[in-house]
Amino acid sequence: MNDVNITVYDGASAWEAVQKMAAIKKEIADGLVGDLIDPIAPGTAQVPAVIPAGPAGKKRKFEPRPGFYQGFPEVTSDKRWYFYWDDSIWQLVDLGKIPDSSIQTISYNNSILTTGRFWNTSAGVGGVMPESPSIFGNGTTQDFNAGKVKIFKGDIISLRTRGGANSRGYYITNVSRVVKLLSAANVNTLTNPFNYEVIEDGWLYTTCIQTGYAAFSLSITRNRAEVLDSRLTAVESAMGGDQPSVLFTPPRFRNNPLPTAGQTLRILFISNSYAVDTTRDINRFIDASNIPASNIAVFVAFQSGGSLNDWWSNFQNNSNVSLERRGGTLSIGEESGSINSILSKHWDVIVFQQASLYSTNFATYSNVSKIINHARKYCTNQKVCFAWNSIWSYADSYATKPTGLERLNLTLEASKKVFNEIGIDIIIPTGVAIQNARLVTDPIVDGGNGLTRDGTHLAFGTGTYIAAATFFYAIISPFFNVPLLGSAARRPATAGSGDNANAMAVDESNYMVCQNSAFLAVMDMWSVRNPVILE
């Protein structure tokens, strides 16, 4: 986005003051006050510093320097952090990012608009906006041009646009795309811009017809300190007024790091049909990257509809399972037997996930820690790394609700808890990657029904290709030190077996957008972004 300009005003000292005030407010509100002590020097990733226990019956605090502390995530230089001792345990509090300054103005021109698209909706206030704009005519005429920008509470918007008879000039929604404000039909703000102070986080949708295209502009003035303050308030509200707003406590177990720079890699998915879809095209990327097939093995222990509770029952009963090879030719020995005998092999990475029916409900994840402990107990490789497949949501047309972005957001919240509370810190964000691709209208990547063949399982072609690309980039790429972007892997639409509904080939016209969808998801596993715009 070369035509987006950001003007920054000097506010570093003001920002620091706001942060310190936020820290004081949190301490008073949460009962985290304590005597300030000299900071404990940080360690390295290989040898993290150990924080000694504080005094009994006392409260202490210190502001750490960037580095590593045993049992906690990295203390980074881009955020303000505090450790608090509450008489029994150290807690690490994240007070938010430290931007370059407090106030900025972001200026956009018509480069953020997609030509030949418009927001095709009759939604009034209270209605829900579609995830993507509709194609107008043949998709090339500038009669309509559509854009969408993230906005935050406290932003000051100044918009110059010209709507049409069939598409309003702007809509303002909350984060769930529920319309809060909209323009009249045929609105023209080119001379007198629409100015508005945003009252809650959400989205700004814009449409501009051809006669206003050249003059279209949008500026957003943002007080980043206020954005931080609203985030702290939201966290406190979500956790309850009587509970401390601690954003991180030590997880239940320490995960081993993702293995890198080795010769052979053995990966096991313990899952259901979603793992089959995730790995369906993985050999295409392995082959295109010139990774010797004899150096890698990807297997799936598959149970149709298998949930975490189902697999915990299998573990307890030491049930017999058969593995399905999904990638590579590296031998692991016997590929069927009791679950304990399967787990006892030298796995480098074991991947878990929840069944799609339960993925939005973290209460159904209660056996994850037990499953992990059982797997580590039997695995021959005590350096085994555990990963989590954060799966995609149902297509909007699917009967089981919620669907689409709403369902994905709920699944992501559960995945974040797996990350923060349980300790699986290697995420394969297939759900975000698929949702990224669902934003794309040009080039065409969706053969229909949200890149699925039945509303839930991925369509053969672009759907399964994007999922495999995400798995490849998250796990395999760093191990063999091979890139994803620019991979020569392609995917015809015709599958060798199974239902081929809504298949869309991955070819020279769309492969880059498919790879971008995976790349952006792995780089930011919690946010949906349009892969056509790779910043």
Residue 451's pLDDT is: 95
What totals of helices (H) and strands (E) does the chain contain, helices first?
A: 13, 23
Residue 246's pLDDT is: 37
461, pLDDT greater than 70: yes
What is the distance in angstroms between the CA of the first residue and the CA of the last residue of the chain? 6
Residue 436's pLDDT is: 94
Which residue(s) pair with 68 in the sheet?
43
Q: What is the pLDDT of residues 58-77, one digit of tens each?
A: 888 888 989 999 989 999 98
Confidence of residue 314 (pLDDT cuts 50, 70, 90): very high
Average the pLDDT over 224-229 and give the result.
Answer: 58
Top mean-pLDDT range of 53-57, 216-220, 323-327, 422-426:
323-327
Top-confidence residue, 311 or 98? 311
Q: Confirm if 168 and 187 have CB atoms less than 8 A apart.
A: yes
Q: Chain-wide mean pLDDT for the chain?
A: 84
Q: Confirm if 210 and 142 have CB atoms less than 8 A apart.
A: yes
Using a 10 angstrom Cβ sphere, with 0-12 exposed, 13-18 middle and 19 or more buried, the burial of residue 440 is: buried
Residue 501's pLDDT is: 83
Residue 129's pLDDT is: 86
Q: What is the pLDDT of residues 88-108, one digit of tens each?
A: 888 888 877 665 455 778 888
141, pLDDT greater than 80: no
Top-confidence residue, 380 or 78? 380
Residue 25's pLDDT is: 52
408, pLDDT greater than 60: yes
Average the pLDDT over 263-287 and give the result.
Answer: 97
Q: What percent of the chain has pLDDT over 90?
A: 53
Q: How far is CA 386 from CA 226, 346, 350, in A?
A: 38, 13, 5
The answer to which of 100-104, 159-163, 338-342 has the lowest mean pLDDT is 100-104
Residue 428's pLDDT is: 97
Which residue(s) pair with 12 in the sheet?
none
Number of CB atoms found within 10 A of residue 52's CB: 8
Q: Confirm if 427 and 419 have CB atoms less than 8 A apart.
A: yes
Buried b / exposed e across 120-134, counting CB within 10 Å, b at 16+? bbebeeeeebeebbb
Number of CB atoms found within 10 A of residue 37's CB: 14
Quote the distance between the C-alpha of residue 100 and its chain's center. Answer: 25
Whether cis (ω within 30° of 0) applies to the bond prior to 531 is no
Confidence of residue 495 (pLDDT cuts 50, 70, 90): low
Average the pLDDT over 351-372 and give the result.
Answer: 95
402, pLDDT greater than 80: yes
Q: How far apart are CA 388 and CA 377, in angstroms?
A: 19
Record the pTM. Answer: 0.58
Cβ-proximal residues to 29 (8 Å cutoff; 6+ apart), any chain: 236, 245
Top-confidence residue, 533 or 349? 349
Number of CB atoms found within 10 A of residue 288's CB: 16
Q: Enter the tokens of residue 392.
A: 């995609």
- Is residue 166 classed as helix, strand or coil in its secondary structure? coil
Q: Per residue, what are the HEC states of 194-244? A: EEEECCCCEEEEEEEEHHHHCCCEEEEEEEHHHHHHHHHHHHHHHHCCCCC
Average the pLDDT over 429-441 and give the result.
Answer: 95
Q: How far apart are CA 510 and CA 512, in angstroms?
A: 6
Residue 396's pLDDT is: 92
Average the pLDDT over 453-476 and give the result.
Answer: 96
- Is residue 172 classed as helix, strand or coil in its secondary structure? strand
Top mean-pLDDT range of 83-97, 190-204, 278-292, 414-428:
278-292
Residue 448's pLDDT is: 86
Q: What is the pLDDT of residues 500-528, one digit of tens each?
A: 788 999 999 999 999 999 999 999 899 89
Residue 378's pLDDT is: 94
Q: How far apart are CA 285 and CA 289, in angstroms?
A: 6
Top-confidence residue, 318 or 102? 318
Q: Confirm if 379 and 348 have CB atoms less than 8 A apart.
A: no
Q: How far apart are CA 200 and CA 181, in angstroms?
A: 12
Q: Which phi and psi (to 5°) does residue 274 adopt?
A: -65, -35
In the block, residue with structure tokens 């300190």: 225
Q: How many CA atoms lie within 13 A of 244 on its CB side?
A: 18
Q: Confirm if 286 and 473 have CB atoms less than 8 A apart.
A: no
Strand order in the sheet with 296-302: 336-338, 320-327, 296-302, 265-271, 349-352, 385-389, 426-428
Confidence of residue 342 (pLDDT cuts 50, 70, 90): very high
